[in-house]
Amino acid sequence: MRQLIIDKDSTALMGLLGRAQAARRHFGHMLASTPYTDTSAMSASYNITPSNTVLGTIAIPGDKSISHRSIMLGSLATGVTNVTGFLEGEDALATLQAFRDMGVTIEGPDNGKLTIHGVGMNGLKPSKTPLYMGNSGTSMRLLAGILAAQSFDSVLTGDTSLNKRPMERVAAPLREMGAVIQSTGHSGTAPLSITGRATIGKPLQGIDYEMPVASAQIKSCLLLAGLWAEGTTTVTQPEVSRDHTERMLSAFGYPVTVDGNRISVEGGGKLTGGDIAVPADISSAAFFMVAAAISQNSELTLTQVGINPTRTGIIDILKLMQADISLSNETHVGVPR
């Protein structure tokens, strides 16, 4: 800290203080077995009066999947990434803390706003403790792909529930790429111990992997690992799954080739920081869409909802049931640089 003050390195100093504050809060929650977010409002009492009509305009919380990826890609990018609409939920906060533990300076969250000072593709540092993912399967599976390519050893762990969920579905194809990953038990559960490339002595190798089932988490894990792999990493999915990772990689300036259900990346590129506007989560919007659709004389406007074609099944189904739903002011955000 003394040297940072002498060097007048305000960004690094802010990052150090921010990580210390976050770590204190993080370990406090772990020791007390309490969630990151304030749950005091959950004990409040509410009086609910039935209504036949839903009217108004409401904003929906941000998309959790995109919130995860904004932290991951922003941390690995060169330059600063400004995020708005970030979902300040337990899972996304676990991802945020993990990258702070690996030396990334992240300001916020403050009302959904984050400023991520990217460290570049090779700038992550080993965490002094196992990376705690809470109950977030997305965090663990996607981070497994990133960490499998790093030079240092790492351990991924979670709460009791997450540590019972299968992780072999990502560990097995990562091993095909040359990763050394040790899971727990016969079913391949967390904690996951990942050996760094410095110990192994060679980088990951690109593979052509045919997924047995469609899964955005497995696909994303392998594509992220492929950013460091020698050669091309291609994932073929049996049917379309959400494509947030492909879109966001392109938005950060990393070339992605999509040929039907085959998605490929070439190792050795770089990510460039920028502005990320996290759209509202259509899964959360679905409850309000149904409420308005089944209520007489209702008119409800949901603002800035993400309408990625891989996520709009709820709209298609409600329209088939004769719901009156229209989309307006359609725009693209995070277009490729």
* Total Cβ atoms within 10 A of residue 246: 22
Structure confidence at residue 39 (pLDDT):
56
- pLDDT over threshold 70, residue 203: yes
pLDDT above 90: percentage of residues in the chain: 76
- pLDDT over threshold 60, residue 336: no
More confident residue, 43 or 175: 175
Least confident of 22-26, 65-69, 112-116, 195-199: 22-26
- pLDDT over threshold 80, residue 337: no
Spatial separation of the C-alpha atoms in residues 38 and 49, rounded to whole Å: 26
What is the homologous superfamily of the domain 64-69+117-269 according to CATH? Enolpyruvate transferase domain (3.65.10.10)
- pLDDT over threshold 70, residue 119: yes
* Total Cβ atoms within 10 A of residue 138: 22
Please report the DSSP string for 227-264 in residue order: TTSBSEEEEE-SS----HHHHHHHHTT---EEETTEEE
Domain coordinates in residue numbering, the chain: 2-32, 64-69+117-269
Spatial separation of the C-alpha atoms in residues 226 and 230, rounded to whole Å: 8
- CA–CA distances in Å: residue 121 to residues 78, 124, 276: 8, 8, 19
Rounded to the nearest integer, the mean pLDDT of the chain is 91
More confident residue, 150 or 24: 150
Contacts made by residues 7-12, CB under 8 angstroms, sequence distance 24+? 11/105, 11/117, 12/105
Question: Model pTM?
Answer: 0.86
Structure confidence at residue 275 (pLDDT):
94
Amino acid 272 reads T
